[in-house]
Structures are given as C-alpha cells and as structure tokens.
Chain A
Amino acid sequence: MSRRPRARPEPVQVVKQRRDAALAALVSGVPYIQFLGISFERRGDELTANLAFDEKLIGNPMLPALHGGVTAAFLEVTAIIELGWSLIWDEVEAGAGALPATMRLPKTIDFTVDYLRSGLPRDAYARARLNRSGRRYASVHVEAWQDNRARIFAQATGHFLMPARDE
C-alpha cells in the first residue's frame, strides 16, 4: 500500500503568528475590553480570558470584592470573543491572507449570571463553551475562576444573535 505524499506542513511559527494576529484583531478593536483590562491567551483554538485586577474594578470596598457588573461584563466579553473567534477560525486556518477589515461581532440577546462566591481583589480567568452555534442564534456557557480552577466564582449562560454573513 503506498500512501499519497502529504503536503508539507506550514512552519509552526507561521501558523501561530497567523492565529495570534487574528485573535489580536478581534480583541483590540473593542475599547471596553481594554477599559476592563481583559486579555486573551490562546492554545490552539482554546481561549482563556484574563481579567487583570485593578482598583477601579472594585464594587464593594468594604469586603473588598469585584463589582458584580464587572464579573458579568467579563463573562459576557469572554462569550462574545469565543463566538467571534469560532466564526473566523476556518478562515484563519485556510490561510486567508488578510482578515476582513471589520469583524462583526455577535449581539447579546440575553445573559444570565449565577454568582457563586464574591470576586476577590485579584486576577480572574474565564473560558466559554459553545452549547450550540447556529446560523442565526448561539447559546454559550461561561465559567470564571480565580485562584483555583475547580472553585468557580461565577458562571453564565447567554443567547446571541450571529452577525449577518455577506455572501
């Protein structure tokens, strides 16, 4: 049995650079993501959002604790970027040279946040999972944690309207 010779794989640095550039383009265009101090780490297609602690994120200075709204916003940002990322992934992998000049992001329809414990005054991390991603609607679940991955401090489920595709 003879095998067909495989196409020579792209150098790993080229692949990484293309993926990182696409992710940066997706995230850097949104002022509010910078305002909160959220960044994204990528491993393959897996994203982890990182909320760097800052005094201005405090809601209750007596505890002190992160503002519940900041926690909700962090989860929502993570969900939207995960969805946006999934929308451009195939194009990025196909090596489609330049990215679309404007990347339209999904719009939130509803978002339900479950607060499990108070957000401590330190960095927080979050990952989103696409429950279902259709042509028009998507359902996304997000979990956020701080010191221990197993001790989630908040989770959320939301529904999103997918951006119209111009074909």
Chain B
Amino acid sequence: MAEMAGQFIDALPHCKALGMALVDIGDGTAEITMPYDTALIGDPETGVIHGGVVSTLMDTCCGAAVMSHPGGAVGTATLDLRIDYMRSATPGQALRAHAECYHVTRTVAFVRAWASDDDPDNHVAKASGAFTVERPGRRA
C-alpha cells in the first residue's frame, strides 16, 4: 500500500515538481506533505509561499481522499474548490494537508481539507470542494 501511495504522487508531474509526498491514505482520507522552497514564494517581502501552492496541495490531497474512499471512484476531477486562507504559512516550514471525503454519491464526492505548517493546531488554510466520481466503463 505504501509503495502504491508513493507511486501515486510520482505519477503526477506537477506534484513531483513541488516535492509532494503522500504520508497516509485510506478509507476516504489522505495526508500529503511538501517541503518549503524559495521558488514558490508569493510574497518576496516576507518569503511566504504563494496561496496557489497551498491550493495545489489541498486539491491533490482532496483528490487522493476521493480515490481512497470505498465509494469506488476510478478517477476524479475537481468541480469546485474553495480555499480560506486563515494565516500565512511560516517561511521555511514544510506544509502538511489532511483531507477527508465525507460524502459520496454515485456521481459526486464532497471533500474538506486543512493545511498546516509546524504548528498543527493553528491551521494555515481550509478547503472544501466537490469532485466528480468516475466509474469504470463510463466516460467522464
């Protein structure tokens, strides 16, 4: 399972470019980390990484949670995603996202996620979104 999880991220070029690592997945939840990188800075004055990076991490984590849900999706795509940025991520610290797919219908998965840095109780951002559920033998 761990090996498959590692391959999951490696197979996604943009996630690989950001250095993401899947640390946990199963039963509709997923957890992904990614290191701090100066190439991803969005605010040159403070060194805080760009909100788009946080969005990408959350989106990936939500997608992984959908895939791991027993609902049986063989593929998924984001329909909509809302991110609330509660505070700036601390420069120099890795990011960690946790997502849970809390409801799945035949066609749609509902997911929420949180991101944090080294202070796990003080979230950097929160996300909620709807994802497609693709099933075998049916074109998206």
Contacts and interface: CB of A to CB of B under 8 A. Distances in A.
Q: How many of chain B's residues touch chain A, expressed as a range?
A: 35 or more
B26 interface: no
Given A29-B44, A32-B42, A77-B52, A70 B14 contact: yes
Contact of B80 (A35, A65, A114, A118): A114
Contact of B85 (A30, A68, A69, A110): A110
Interface in A43-94: 55-62, 65, 67-70, 72-74, 76-77, 80
Contacts of A73: 50-53, 55-56
Contact of B14 (A30, A57, A113): A57
Interface stretch (A9-17, A99-107, A124-132, A135-143): A99-107
B60 interface: yes
Contacts of A97: none
Nearest to A55: B13
A105 B39 CA distance: 17
A110 B83 contact: yes
Contact of B77 (A105, A107, A118): A118
Interface string B54-77: 011111100100000000000101
Contacts of A111: 51, 55, 82-83, 85
B43 interface: yes
Given A60-B12, A108-B51, A68 B42 contact: no
Interface string B82-105: 111100100000000000000000
Contacts, number: 128
Contact of B59 (A72, A104, A109): A72
B80 A113 contact: yes
B108 interface: no
Contacts of A76: 50-52, 55
B82 A112 contact: yes
Contact of B39 (A29, A35, A55, A110): A35
A31 B56 CA distance: 16
Q: Report which residue of B16, B78, B79 has the largest number of chain A beta carbons within 10 angstroms of its beta carbon.
A: B78
Given A30-B41, A104-B45, A67 B56 contact: yes
A104 B48 CA distance: 13
Contacts of B15: 59, 67
Given A61-B11, A69-B52, A113-B80, A31 B41 contact: yes
Contacts of A65: 77
Given A31-B39, A107-B85, A112-B81, 10 more contacts: A32-B41, A36-B52, A61-B13, A67-B15, A68-B56, A72-B55, A109-B85, A110-B85, A111-B55, A115-B77
Interface of B: 11-17, 38-45, 49-53, 55-60, 63, 75, 77-85, 88
Interface of A: 29-32, 34-36, 55-62, 65, 67-70, 72-74, 76-77, 80, 102, 104-105, 107-115, 118
